[in-house]
Chain A
């Protein structure tokens, strides 16, 4: 049975939401609630909603993540980067291309992990540039450690 708005708010309010238990109860109505939360001022709830939206593997969920990836609020962009690995490849790469330019190391780390195996030429170019130019030794190493594609 689909989750009610009240129960969804309590389940996400949880200090440590059990995302995998909420997931099967999501319907389009619930995802619409996630969309509202993702744009709200309660940053903690917004980040949880963004992650769960990505986990839902729905088109509307992917839209929520993509919108969050453009947010002015860094924590929402971090949540979008956390959610990326669950998105369809095409959507994931589109969001990655935007988020990889973010100067934040957490966001770059999550993007590299989620799309390190991507065949996207544009994304590979960005990784190559970062592997040489990133001021963060951690990010340079993370990219160098990615498996190299077969020639």
Chain B
């Protein structure tokens, strides 16, 4: 999966948010050197020149990168927030980064959103040293990788909020899908007040076979277009399963039970995309339960990736 665009900007271009909190900023040829006043926090900003459309394709952000070094552990990067125009697309807070030498620090952007307005990186730094040498940080460069991913588009219909949050299930699914080039797009969220289907009959949960209750549930397709996948979060299935990916023809989707694991949604959507069980607890499609995954995040192997790419539910950019 080659990078389609990589944009970098030199450290000289850094913008200081609170000038009264810094003792000095000096732009040497190599970097911008900032010395903060003791016991201050500050924000520094990079605007990355962003070609949002290349060859008629809107670019998706993969990650941003920073090259910087600190004079001591008293000049720490505490936050890296990433924006597309006015939209915050990723936030790394509670960091404590103080590399002594220039290296490349990469910050993943989950969800790999399409970029519309230009990438901004805002960096929070705390200065807690007593000497200038301790309170010095040098930024040499900031950059951003772009890519084009196949997408699986999910709609969430919630009858019961699961114990492991939907955000966590989505983040876990992205941990597995994104490294193999499939981004997971959260298209819509809707609450469904359907108490009679909250414990939904799924029978033996076999591909292509659905119960009357599944048929009724899967008729709820507000905002859903062809090739979108719907995940219905129910309280339980009858009989008890973590989830079930059997769905009526032409209505791709799955149910996920309220006490499913954080990997269940990715596993069930894997079935919807055509994957079958394997006897290997390192893999997402283990037939021994994602609760028994030994080495998270679980893997998808190349033949599975091919199956996913061949599914008409993964949409090419």
Contacts and interface: CB of A to CB of B under 8 A. Distances in A.
The size bracket of the interface on A is 20 to 34
Contacts of B38: none
B264 A15 contact: yes
Contacts of B260: 15, 44
B258 interface: yes
Interface string A13-50: 11111111000000000000000000000111101101
A146 interface: no
A43 B164 CA distance: 13
B244 A16 contact: yes
A49 B268 CA distance: 21
Nearest to B264: A15
B243 interface: yes
A105 B287 contact: no
Contacts of A79: 236, 240
17 contacts: A10-B288, A14-B288, A15-B242, A15-B289, A44-B240, A44-B259, A44-B260, A47-B240, A48-B239, A48-B240, A50-B240, A51-B239, A78-B238, A79-B236, A105-B196, A110-B199, A138-B196
Interface of A: 9-20, 42-45, 47-48, 50-51, 75, 78-79, 82, 105-107, 109-110, 136, 138
Interface of B: 163, 195-196, 198-199, 204-205, 235-236, 238-244, 257-261, 264, 267-268, 277, 287-292
> What 6 pairs across the A-B complex have the smallest Cβ distances?
A13-B289, A106-B199, A47-B240, A10-B288, A15-B242, A138-B196
